[in-house]
Amino acid sequence: MVAEKVKIILEDGKAISQMFSDAQAMIAEFGAENVYNFSIGNPSAEPPEAVKQAMIDELNCQNPTYLHGYTGGLGYADVRQAVADHENETFGTKFSANNVVMTVGAAGGLNLVFQLLMNPGDEVITFTPYFSEYKCYATNVDAALVLSETDENFQPKLDVFESLLTEKTRIVLINSPNNPTGAVYSEDMLKKIAAIMEKKQKEFGTVMYMVSDEPYRYIAYDNVDVPYITKICKNAIVANSFSKSLSLPGERIGFLIIPSEIEGYQEIYEAANVINRTLGFVNAPALIQRGVARCLNAEIDVEGYKKNRDALYAGLIEAGYECVKPQGAFYMFVKTPIADDWEFYKKAQKYHLVLGPGVAFGGPGYVRISYCVDYDMIVKALPQFKQLMDDIRAEQKK
Ligand code: PLP
């Protein structure tokens, strides 16, 4: 019999598992080419050629005992230095290897941060709609996830946010570019969030950390600025990964930036070394640590995602859907023409469209469309979206 905690996680993850099994069942029935599966966030851009070459070079030039050995909980020192140098060159920061922890993706990094900072009963606050696994990460450490609403453009409502901060708030979790909306928070917005945190920490006599979950940092369009939070907030930690920026989600590689300026830096950084081990990760996978360090400047085809976004957005608007044009990531969060997004999700399947019900992301009345797919699939799916809308409107008129 599973533990109560597991039951909570399974209950919350129900919608996501349903989406996966529905997609699989439809593919088995109609064939993959006849199903428009927009339900998952697996990158469609190919990893850069440089990644393959880097792995081959590593395999050829390293002593295998070293290459495949334990790397220490924080990761290889030269890899951490390479990541710090890359951040410094790109963002004008001043990090060293001792501000970097190599992690098992951004997810591994976030779980590590939660373990490091949260006591049972503490609160982590994030903005809705949100990446639903945050709730599981909070449950893992017996903390509570508090949800703060956003406006019609998926930007934080600051008065709501301020009213939700309490003595128990330990982490403010930012995700920009956002999954599932594609929204990006401006520097001004982040400064306002940081100022509210500052005010409330003084009022309560507590310490809060801003944690930025940013696996989509490099997938941003139209020259939108994705601000670097350690320059905005003193107590800021960055969780990043190569899952989307180099299309390597299965390799499970990412990193944390823990700046020396944050409250309790020394203790936190030293603890990270131990806690990464005790989470079962032991260390981030060794070969891919070294591989990514060789191609930190490599890029995937972001223009391909932009082409998908533009075609999908134009087609949906023309068909009568309401949505905010995403500024980053590869998701669009679209208002459902009927209030119940589960009902819409089921109706869409009759048109061979597999979408992500908004309720699974704390955004009822919407669906998430992952447009990290082949462009041709979007072109073929748009008439289906239009037919679906036309049929719903006709039904509504009856
Ligand atoms: N955070 C967000 C918002 C995500 O969308 C994802 C994956 O889709 C993750 C974290 C986990 O990323 P990673 O593969 O780097 O662990």
Ligand 1 pocket check for 105: Cβ under 6 Å = yes
Pocket test for ligand 1, best of 44, 184, 241, 256 (most atoms within 8 A of CB): 241
Ligand 1 pocket check for 178: Cβ under 6 Å = no
Q: List every span in the chain annotated with CATH 3.40.640.10.
A: 49-293
H-type helices in 118-249, by residue range? Answer: 133-140, 158-164, 187-204
Q: What is the pLDDT, as a whole number, of residue 237?
A: 98
Query: Domain 49-293 class?
Result: alpha beta
The pTM assigned to this predicted structure is: 0.96
Between CA 129 and CA 377 the distance in angstroms is: 26
Between CA 128 and CA 356 the distance in angstroms is: 15
Q: What is the pLDDT, as a whole number, of residue 62?
A: 79
In contact, 358 and 348? CB cutoff 8 Å: no
Helix axes 265-278, 105-117, angle to 10 degrees: 120
Amino acid symbol at 28: A
Q: What is the pLDDT, as a whole number, of residue 205?
A: 98
Q: What is the pLDDT, as a whole number, of residue 350?
A: 95
| Tens-binned pLDDT, residue by residue, of the chain (398 aa) | 899 888 888 887 787 888 889 999 999 999 999 999 999 889 999 999 999 999 999 999 878 888 999 999 999 999 999 999 999 999 999 999 999 999 999 999 999 999 999 999 999 999 999 999 999 999 999 999 999 999 999 999 999 999 999 999 999 999 999 999 999 999 999 999 999 999 999 999 999 999 999 999 999 999 999 999 999 999 999 999 999 999 999 999 999 999 999 999 999 999 999 999 999 999 999 999 999 999 999 999 999 999 999 999 999 999 999 999 999 999 999 999 999 999 999 999 999 999 999 999 999 999 999 999 999 999 999 999 999 999 999 999 88
Nearest CA to ligand 1 atom 8: 41
Pocket test for ligand 1, best of 243, 252, 288 (most atoms within 8 A of CB): 243
> What Rg do the C-alpha atoms of the chain give, in angstroms?
21
146 Cβ partners below 8 Å, 6+ apart? 123, 124, 125, 126, 164, 169
Burial of 339 (0-12, 13-18, 19+ CB in 10 A): exposed
Query: CA nearest 107: which of 185, 191, 41?
Result: 41
Domain 4-47+300-397 in CATH: superfamily? Aspartate Aminotransferase, domain 1 (3.90.1150.10)
Burial of 117 (0-12, 13-18, 19+ CB in 10 A): buried
Query: Cα 216 vs. chain centroid, distance in angstroms?
Result: 7
